[in-house]
């Protein structure tokens, strides 16, 4: 019988051919659970690193393809704007207390700026703004930074410092208001610039939460618009604009409380659990090869 008629010998002869092996060193290594069962088609060239894009089931973090189901989901309650790996340091949800401090302070200041109840003296509002919205929120940001949530750490530390600086404006011992004397126009312009800067910062944070949840987006949309309206109102000394800005800050506080409650409420401790309101995200549906 000839060697061509023996299948075993045919396989040996084929294996002895000097065929260079394809190099796939440029591909991202995957875990054994994620390796597809099929092999590359001979007519299909090895994909470049650029093919490792997200789809409805996968995303790419640190140049590694991972399943979305294995990641921490976007959540306003955790102040987490996107899919991320679970934190290495296990601790309580510091974002929840940070949101509570922000919401209460913004609620009180929003009511004052909206001229609710005819209140003209700000002293009672300054105390929670300094300690709850300022100190507590600042510490919550530090804890979130330790946990690895850079976005929450940046936001809470920054807004904690905002409430501390806002409270300092109203404390006589700092002498900030007294330095302007009777020059109300200069004071209005200076306060407007102060609020304008925070409006820009809030807008930048808004750009980072557009793929997260609707309460998250609502919080930063109303907060950003509120800062801009208040800046314009104080710089032009327009009562209605200032009042409109106060109402927007008030609405932002409600979004903050919503997010805070959704973070601490579970089926085990309450009959009322708020939905997170995840935003639908479009993906480029491209194949991801091993």
Instruction: Please state, rounded to an integer, the average pLDDT across all residues of the chain.
Output: 78
Q: Tens digit of pLDDT for each residue in 225-255?
A: 999 999 999 999 999 999 999 999 999 999 9
* The pLDDT of residue 17 is above 50: no
Average pLDDT over residues 36-58: 46
157 or 74: which carries more pLDDT confidence?
A: 157
Residue 74 lies in a domain: no
Q: For residue 181, what are the domain limits?
A: 94-264
Residue 123 lies in a domain: yes
Average pLDDT over residues 59-83: 60
CA angle 46, 47, 49 (to 5 degrees): 135
Residue 219 lies in a domain: yes
Residue 240 lies in a domain: yes
Taking alpha carbons only, the member of 155, 277, 143 closest to residue 223 is 155
Residue 39 lies in a domain: no
62 or 31: which carries more pLDDT confidence?
A: 62
CA distances from 242 to 32, 110, 238 (A): 59, 10, 6
What is the count of structural domains for the chain?
1
Residue 188 lies in a domain: yes
5 or 113: which carries more pLDDT confidence?
A: 113
* pLDDT grade for 199, boundaries at 50, 70 and 90: very high
What is the per-residue pLDDT for 64?
64
Residue 287 lies in a domain: no
Q: Tens digit of pLDDT for each residue in 104-120?
A: 999 999 999 998 988 88
Residue 289 lies in a domain: no
The single residue listed with the structure tokens 């330095």 is 179
Average pLDDT over residues 84-98: 74
């Amino acid at each position: 019988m000839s060697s061509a008629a023996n299948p075993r010998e045919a396989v040996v002869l084929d294996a002895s051919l000097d065929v260079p092996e394809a190099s796939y060193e440029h591909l991202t290594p995957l875990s054994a659970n994620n390796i597809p069962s099929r092999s590359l088609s001979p007519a299909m060239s090895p994909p470049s690193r650029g093919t490792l894009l997200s789809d409805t089931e996968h995303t790419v973090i640190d140049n590694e393809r991972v399943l979305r189901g294995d990641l921490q989901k976007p959540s306003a309650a955790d102040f987490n704007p996107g899919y991320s790996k679970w934190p290495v340091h296990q601790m309580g949800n510091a974002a929840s207390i940070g949101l509570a401090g922000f919401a209460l302070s913004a609620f009180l200041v929003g009511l004052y700026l909206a001229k609710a109840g005819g209140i003209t003296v700000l002293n009672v509002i300054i105390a929670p703004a300094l300690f709850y919205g300022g100190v507590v929120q600042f510490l919550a940001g530090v804890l979130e930074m330790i946990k690895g949530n850079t976005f929450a750490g940046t936001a809470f530390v920054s807004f904690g410092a905002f409430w501390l600086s806002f409270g300092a404006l109203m404390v006589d011992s700092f002498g900030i208001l007294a330095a302007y004397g009777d020059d109300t126009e200069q004071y209005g312009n200076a306060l407007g610039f102060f609020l304008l800067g925070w409006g820009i910062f809030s807008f930048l944070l808004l750009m980072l939460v557009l793929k997260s949840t609707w309460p998250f987006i609502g919080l930063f949309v109303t907060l950003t618009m509120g800062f801009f309206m208040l800046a314009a109102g104080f710089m032009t000394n327009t009562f209605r604009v200032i009042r409109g800005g106060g109402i927007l800050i008030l609405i932002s506080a409600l979004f903050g409380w919503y997010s805070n409650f959704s973070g601490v409420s579970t089926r085990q401790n309450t009959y009322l659990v708020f939905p997170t309101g995840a935003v639908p995200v479009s993906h480029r549906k491209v194949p991801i090869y091993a």
